[in-house]
Amino acid sequence: MSDEVSVLIVDDSALMRNLIGRMVEATPGLVVTEKAMNGLFALQKIPRVNPDVIVLDLEMPEMNGIEFLKERKKQGITIPVVILSSIAARGAEITMEALALGASDFIQKPSGSISEDIHTVKDTLVSMLLGYGGQYRRSQGKKLLTPSEYPKKDESKDRPKISSASPEPAAFPAQIRKPGKTEIIAIGISTGGPDALRTVFAKLDANLTVPILVVQHMPPGFTNEFAKSLDRVCPLDVKEAEDGDAVQPGRILIAQGNKHLEVEKKGFSPVVRLSDDPLVSGHRPSADVLFASVAMTYTNHALGVIMTGMGRDGAQQLGTIYKEGGMTLGQDEASAVVYGMPRVAWELGHVMEQVSLENMARKICDIAKTPR
């Protein structure tokens, strides 16, 4: 039996099943175990093939993605699900419903339900499948191949760069001043973020008074519904940030898709500013932009947190928060779906402590409530 992460592809388009299957099969560490044209067939195949992760379209005949997720929940199936779907007018609302029903993450098909350019989201998709599928395999006590054990495949040069060696941090940069009382918390997060933020926000203390600003890489049009979905599980108020919003105690503001999020102090009343400035670190919103702004405005009264995600967005400017005297945390490798952003920050010496997803809320609250 293969020790690679096995993938069940569920999509009503034969072309899409084929294209997605090719991307999966070309990725070392992944293998297609079965394909299904709708949720009904997927449910019939799951007991036989026992996949590690499921790629799920939402719009399908007989049993659509939402109906499948409801039945999956009813049957107690815990195999992680990544939504890969075209987004209609009600797409954001439906996608957030899918996440609320237990889907782990989502990717937007680039050009509608039949996206022949699906390869443009390949890196994101296969990183999610390796991350969520790998976590599931470990939770089931199954062997998981390390990258050095991956069998050779035709497109191995294109696979996401995943290191099996735990990185060593660089020396901490010098701090200008000692940490003071925490007055702001800034979080940068990407691939794997929707699931991770739900976990963290559900565990935050209801009496936490320090405001939180979040950059989650997400397409425009989704962050409002995403904020609403987080608000339903979080004891604090969560909303999508609007230009000029006050930074208030006990309030969490989520950056809008395709808008940078910064903070400025007007007298004693800090507010957020949104902008269409160019992409930074390949993203808008960018965690680097948020962290730099927080460091400049709050100096040693900030806590910066970098969590699961591809690439390096936020890693550099998290160091600015630290240099100014702020506190910094990074998600650890074992609990991150994609240990990219927090890995780079750790290797640069910009993370004071690595924390598991399970313990992140407690650590954030402890730091925020510690008098200095």
Residue numbers annotated as active site: 190, 217, 313
Tokens of 342: 């927090």
Largest CA distance in the chain: 65
Q: Would you state the torsion angle of the CA atoms of residues 349, 272, 198, 301, taken in this order, to the nearest 10 degrees?
A: 40
Give me the amino acid identity at 274. Answer: L
- The owner of tokens 């806590």 is 303
Give me the amino acid identity at 40. Answer: L
d(CA 38, CA 64): 6
Degrees to nearest 5, angle at CA 18 with 12 and 23: 125
234: number of CA atoms within 13 Å, CB side? Answer: 24
Q: Do residues 327 and 212 lie in contact, with contact meaning Cβ atoms separated by under 8 Å?
A: no
- The owner of tokens 């640069």 is 348
d(CA 146, CA 136): 15
d(CA 276, CA 93): 25
Locate all alpha helices (DSSP H) within 175-326, ordered by sequence: 193-202, 223-233, 287-298, 315-323
Degrees to nearest 5, angle at CA 103 with 79 and 195: 105
Q: Do residues 57 and 84 lie in contact, with contact meaning Cβ atoms separated by under 8 Å?
A: yes
d(CA 280, CA 274): 14
Q: What is the DSSP string of 43-66?
A: HHHHHHH--SEEEE-S--SSS-HH
